[in-house]
Every structure is written in structure tokens, then in C-alpha cells.
Amino acid sequence: MDISILDLAPVPQGSDARAAIASSIALAQAAETQGYARYWLAEHHNLPGIASAATAVLIGHIADHTKRIRVGAGGIMLPNHAPLAVAEAFGTLATIHGPRIDLGLGRAPGGDGAVMRALRRGMSRNDDFPNDVVELLSYLGPERPGAPVAAHPGQGTNVPVWILGSSLYGASLAAALGLPYAFASHFAPNDLDEALRLYRTRFEPGPWGQAPRFMLAANLVAADTDAAARKLRTSQQQSFYRLRTGTPGKLPPPVDDLDSVVPPQFQSMVDSLLSVSAVGGPEAVKAQLDALVARYQPDELILTGNIWDPEARLRSFAIGAEVMGLSRP
């Protein structure tokens, strides 16, 4: 089973986007040596704690600093963009870097209403999502003689496309189109079981896939001891609480007393949304990841972890690679 990394390019308090991007390069290079299969980045806007807003640009930067690992989007929010522009961007990436570029597509705005207005996006674009996906696939596929519009670069690159989702909608679309499907269980696990059942039972083989391919997303916060990992996790818990209460910011440092920064009445909500997680020392995270794999039987597993200290983040993913038995290339 392939295991990959989803990097939100977190910007820690006391740092800046330039340093965050440098940390992402270091993590991608380490992931490549540790045997991770993919390194994905995600489109988010107007969030001072995330440095991956210009996702395709950052993908190219990461690909420039790696050699073998697949690099891609997890994902591009397609209603924010014209399908042709996305095809040209990822076609260019594939032309430069060869067949190691991935393209995951979501339909969320990647921000709030103000962001949607700034991106000149209307909610009607959500209704166009299935047609936009098919249009994009056509631009990345084989040459179409006589087509009035083609992606240059783009056509013939056959960049692999995934559907991303956190609800039944994405599962249904991925199944209908015969595309691989990644579920955002790392922050929205409520519909996971039903979405997975729907995707697998309704999958229609087609030109983009002959069998279902499901990717499970999970949070990973690993350290040398359980106690150290639990403390590291408080950064993510604080960040998620702030986002959900309308006060996002840079990734806060860990704390000894979570009650002092996140009201106890909110902690159960935060922990529920982050329930698809492995937190602890090596033995604990191996047991938790093994349990997730046994329950959901994913074809691929993608791990993410917002950890304030870049060195601790590197160590967390190194532990993940070790306990899951990844083979170094």
C-alpha cells in the first residue's frame, strides 16, 4: 500500500511564509528518501497560517527540489479556476517534471465568502463541477483532432486526476466517472463510512480507471513518547478551534494545558473532527494506523500533520515511515 504526505505548508507563529516553504522543501526531500509515494499540497486562501495558496507554483518548486517522489495537488479547488487554465498549469508541470505530477480536484472555495468574491467566483460554479472535471480530463487526454480548444502544454500528458471530497457528493462523482477518490477524513470524518461504501459499490469502470482506488487521509502526530506527541498535537487543536470560531492565524506553539487556550466545551468538537488520527510514540501510532487500515482497507493512505516545530514535524513523518515499514528507494 502506498503511503503519502499531505502538506498544508503551515506557517508557525514566530515564522513566515518563506521559512514555511523552506520547511516544506526539507520535508519533501526527507519523504523522498524515506519511501513516501506522493507529496501533495492544497489550495487555501486568506489564511495566514498556510503558505500553499498558489498551489501549482509551490508544486513546481517542490518538484524542482526532488527527483522521484510524485508531487501534486490535494487539491485544486476547480470552481475557482477555468478548466483550461488548470490543464495548462499541470500540463506544463508534467512537461517539465515528467510523469510524476498528480492533480486532485475539489469543489470547495478554499476560503470564505469574501475569498469567493475576491476570486470572482459565484456559487453557480459548484453546479458546473462535474462538467468542468470532464472538460479538464479532455484537455489532459489524447490529442483531439478538430477540437476548437486544446491545452498546450497539456494534451497527451495524461496527468492522473483524483476527486477529493468530504461528503457523498464527491464519492458519487468519482464513482460515476471511474476516477480515484480521496476522502478528507483528516478533518471531516462524519460521512467517511457511507462515502466509501457508495464509491466502491457504484464505481463505473472507464477510460480513467478500471477499479476503485480509495485514499484515506489521516492526521499523524508522532514523537519518541506518547506524552511528547500529545503536547505537539495541541498546536493543531488550537489552530482548528481558532479556524472554527472565525479567528484563524499562524500555527500556534504547543502548550502543556490545552484548557487554558481551548475552552473544554469545544475540545470534544475539535477532537471529533480530528478523530481520524494517529497520535503518540512509535508503538502507539503504528497500532492506530494499523487499525485505520484494517477498518477502511484503503488502497492508499495519506498522512498530514500540522506541527509547530519543523524539526518535530520531520521527526513525526520519519517515525511514520519507520513504523509503516516504508522501503527506502
Cα dihedral 212→192→239→285 (10° resolution): -80
Please tell me the pTM assigned to this model.
0.96
| Tens-digit pLDDT profile for residues 4-18 | 999 999 999 999 999
Instruction: Report pLDDT for 127.
Output: 74
- Cell numbers for 323, please give them: 513504523
Evaluate if residue 112 carries a pLDDT over 80. Answer: no
CA distance 59 to 211: 28
Phi, psi angles (nearest 5°) of residue 301 = -125, 130
Evaluate if residue 297 carries a pLDDT over 70. Answer: yes
Instruction: Report pLDDT for 114.
Output: 80
Domains of the chain (ranges, CATH numbers): 2-222+277-323 (3.20.20.30)
Instruction: Report pLDDT for 108.
Output: 82
Evaluate if residue 52 carries a pLDDT over 70. Answer: yes
CA distance 43 to 67: 23
19, 31 Cβ separation under 8 angstroms? no
Task: Give the three-state DSSP class for 154.
Answer: strand
Evaluate if residue 212 carries a pLDDT over 70. Answer: yes
**Dihedral sign (CA 264, 268, 274, 275):** positive
Evaluate if residue 251 carries a pLDDT over 90. Answer: yes
Evaluate if residue 126 carries a pLDDT over 70. Answer: no
Instruction: Report pLDDT for 125.
Output: 61
Across the chain, mean pLDDT equals 95
| Tens-digit pLDDT profile for residues 171-208 | 999 999 999 999 999 999 999 999 999 999 999 999 99
| Rounded percentage of the chain residues whose pLDDT exceeds 70 | 97
- Look at 120 and 240; give whichever has higher pLDDT: 240
